[in-house]
Structure 1
Amino acid sequence: MSTYEAIAMLLAIAYILLAVRQNLWCWPAAFISTLIYTILFFDVSLLMDSALNAYYLIMAVYGWYSWKYGGKLKEQELEVSSYGLIKNIKIIFVLTLISLSFGYVMANYTSADFAYIDSFTTVFAVFATYMLAKKILENWVYWIVIDVVSIYIYIQKGLNLTAILFVIYTVLAFVAFKKWKEEYDKKATTTA
């Protein structure tokens, strides 16, 4: 446990709370938090998690832009949308194959710990982050699974504050899904 881990954790909580409320300022909080986590995960040999957080840095910038200007009309804020069941099943299948491939490489050619599990959470988190940046409702379901698996990894690596953070993330992902779903259903009812 370190001061940097505590700062990253607090900023990560701020990020998720702001994201639940669809507040644009979630992205700067995410940027700083992930910068810290990129370094921390590299230091404890969670190489895929470190790479994932480097990706999050880029997505924080993209998410800011997408939420602010990604609507159908020029310079309109993005609205919550859904992929639907069939598209999500296809996505899960493809991401699972990619995860297994990365897991094999990490297990056989690097010193990475938890190679397959770390690859799974990383690959799915990459796509879930894209979904969040596009305000796709189901991103929260992906995050619930990713967060639960991540809790185990972080406890095993002695990153206890980060494990607590992911417990909080899991609860907030449930809350966010409910809130975004209500907004999505309300919009669908209004449109119909």
Structure 2
Amino acid sequence: MNELLSQAIAQWQLMHSIELTATVLALAYVILALKQSLWCWPAALLSTVLFTHVMWQSALLSDALLQLYYAGMALYGWWRWQQIRQSAPGERGPVYEWRWQYHVILIGITALVGWGLGALMAEHTSADFAYIDAQTTVFSVMATLLVARKLVSNWLYWVVIDAVSIYVYAQKHLYFLTGLFMLYTVIAIAGYFIWRSHYQQQPAVNLSL
């Protein structure tokens, strides 16, 4: 019995150590992204590797798949931001925005995909919070692409995603993640206003879909 208890405690400590390290790296990613630093993407890549393990062990299967996507997007984001900097004057390069009609279409399509993923997870897996987890997953996929393309409105999507995620992670007793997403929500609000100010002050730029 004592041996089993010791193993359980050791496993708990290991899981939360991994979660804490991933949390610090993820927080570094968001802060660096707010500052439009290229180094946000290496921080994101390391964080996703650790979070993939945490999500899988917590039976948040959609989130585990999402972390693998984040790893790929970290590589794409590094490349894309370098391209933006090389194609425009200024140390950070410009930020962009789409018309509101594009966002309405994007939200509708993403919500439908999230419903389909949620139904699939609820029917064929043991995933907890299947529909909520699926919606935050697909919207995170979409919002991460908007970050890589440096769209100002990405931060508004993250405000909603992060607020919903706080509830899910608190229910799963992932306390570092819960605290992280509380910080994320505040940073996302600040990020929107900082990027919007940059957008309003820069020369007019165009970005295709």
Q: TM-score range by the shorter chain?
A: over 0.9
Contact 1:69 1:78 (8 Å CA) reproduced: no
1:104 is aligned to: 119
Q: How many positions carry a matched residue from both structures?
A: 191
Deviations 1:90-148 (A, max 9, x none): 10010011111111111111111100000000000001000000001111000000000
**Alignment match, 1:34:** 48
Q: Distance in 1 between matches of 2:128 and 2:47?
A: 22
Partners of 1:113 and 1:49 lie apart in 2 by: 11
Q: TM-score with structure 2 length normalisation?
A: 0.87
Post-superposition Cα deviations, 1:46-76, rounded to whole Å, max 9, x if no partner, equal: 0000000110001001100100113583999
| Cross-structure match for 1:166 | 181
Instruction: Answer yes or no: is 1:137 the counterpart of 2:152.
Output: yes
Contact 2:159-2:189 at 8 Å conserved across structures: yes
Q: CA RMSD in A?
A: 2.0
Structure ID, larger Rg: 2
**CA contact 1:78–1:134 (8 Å) conserved in 2:** no
Q: Give me the whole-angstrom Cα distance separating, in 2, the residues matched to 1:48 and 1:190.
A: 36
Once the 2 structures are TM-superposed, how far is the Cα of residue 85 of structure 1 from its aligned partner? 1.0
Structure 1 gap ranges (5+): none
| C-alpha distance after superposition, 1:75-98 (max 9, x if no partner) | 996521001211101100100111
Uncovered stretches (5+) of structure 2, i.e. residues with no partner: 1-14
Query: What's 1:146 paired with?
Result: 161
Distance verdict in 2 for CA 1:189–1:67, change over 3 Å: closer
Which SS does the other structure have where 2:178 is aligned? helix
8 Å contact from structure 2 (residues 94, 202) kept in 1: no
Given the superposition, is the C-alpha separation of residues 10 and 123 from structure 1 closer, same or farther in structure 2, using an over 3 Å criterion? same
Percent of pairs identical after alignment? 41
Asked if 1 retains the 8 angstrom alpha-carbon contact of 2:88 and 2:94, the reply is no
Change over 3 Å in CA distance of 1:110–1:182 after alignment to 2: same
Structure-1-length-normalised TM-score: 0.94
Equivalent of residue 113 in structure 1, options 128, 135, 140: 128
Q: What's the offset of the Cα at 1:189? A: 7.0
Counterpart Cα distance in 1 of 2:97 and 2:182: 25
Q: Aligned AA for 2:101? A: I
Moved over 4 A (4+): 74-78, 188-191
